[in-house]
Amino acid sequence: MELKGKKFVVVGGAGLIGSHTVDQLLEEDVKEIIVYDNFARGSFENLNTALKDPRVTIYDVGGDILSTDILESAFNGADGVFQFAALWLLQCHEYPESAFEVNVRGTFNIMQACIKQKIERLVFSSSASVYGDAITEPMAEDHPFNNKNFYGATKIAGEAMLRAYHHRYGLNFVGLRYMNVYGPRQDYKGAYIAVIMRMLDAIDKGESPTIMGDGTEAFDFVAVKDCAAANICAMKSNANDEFYNVGTGKRTSLKELAEILIELTGCTKEINYLPNSSATLVKNRIGDPAKAMKEIGFTSKIDLHEGLNQLIEWRSAQVSS
């Protein structure tokens, strides 16, 4: 899709990946961006810079993807839609009924609204959680669905519904399977903060960064700005009815991650290891980026040291403000 002069709705646009996508959309010659968000996880602060641009507005009638009539009205006249709204992994683990309503029914509502409002293209946020633990490494998009948690199940359901709607109604879509996303605007307080933030919390308190397990668990850590770039690539591309890994293809163990954070922060404490009792965590997940590079032109550009530095600087500004 040519982005110039087009109108886009960013569902969940006040969240982590959504707000960065709004920022990068503004670098294109788009006509209008509507942010549709109920601010359950997102924040107005994430949109501070974007809202200075007159092309960006928050849909003030509502922002809940379960409010079907309001959702449909927000899509009126739009050319493309980005879907980021979802409950996160641990929330889905604790509140599966809510996870079903938001992640499954909410996605269905967005699909319905796209069909009714004749949206030209939908970019859907899926997750590497669909894969579960890696059977082969790196994982290509045809890797089996080995997921065992409810968050991953909701994303598998979303992908299957999208494919069915493409074949039934001609819904033009691309799905993106993000690896382990990190970066500025990440949740840094509350019950559902990610492993990097928990380590930085401990370091700030003069304590040891803690790892659940022996530290050999390895992941593909991808910077949020790269994820936003992938969304722009997906919207611009001619790909249809396809899913793509969004990652670096590089393996980083939790031990290596903690060592980098210790180096960047000047922490003098040793890593603390605790037994891993969580049933929601996988042990090994590195994505193959080749298909995304070839078909939608996406390549990650931010290495882990650079990305973590950006996160630490942003986080320090939030804590001190």
Beta strands 121-127 and 80-83 are parallel
Is residue 280 within 8 A of residue 93, CB to CB? The reply is yes
Which residue of the set 36, 59, 131, 151 is catalytic? 151
> Among 76, 58, 63, which residue's Cα sits nearest to residue 116?
76
DSSP state of 193: -
For residues 113 and 261, give the distance between their C-alpha atoms in angstroms, rounded to a whole number: 43
182 is catalytic: no
Nearest residue to 243 via CA among 119, 139, 112: 139
Question: How many CA atoms are closer than 13 Å to the CA of 65, on its beta-carbon side?
Answer: 34
- Phi, psi (rounded to 5 degrees) for 222: -120, 135
SS (H, E, C) 62-100: CCCCCCHHHHHHHCCCCCEEEECCCCCHHHHHHCHHHHH
AA letter at 97: E
Query: 244 in helix, strand or coil?
Result: strand
- 177-203 per-residue burial string, b: 16 or more CB within 10 A, e: under 16: bbbbbbbbbbebeeeebbbbbebbbbb
Sign of the dihedral defined by the CA atoms of residues 91, 96, 97, 101, in that order: positive
Looking at 121-241, which runs of residues are DSSP E strands? Answer: 121-127, 173-178, 180-182, 210-212, 218-219, 221-223
By annotation, the residues acting in catalysis are: 151
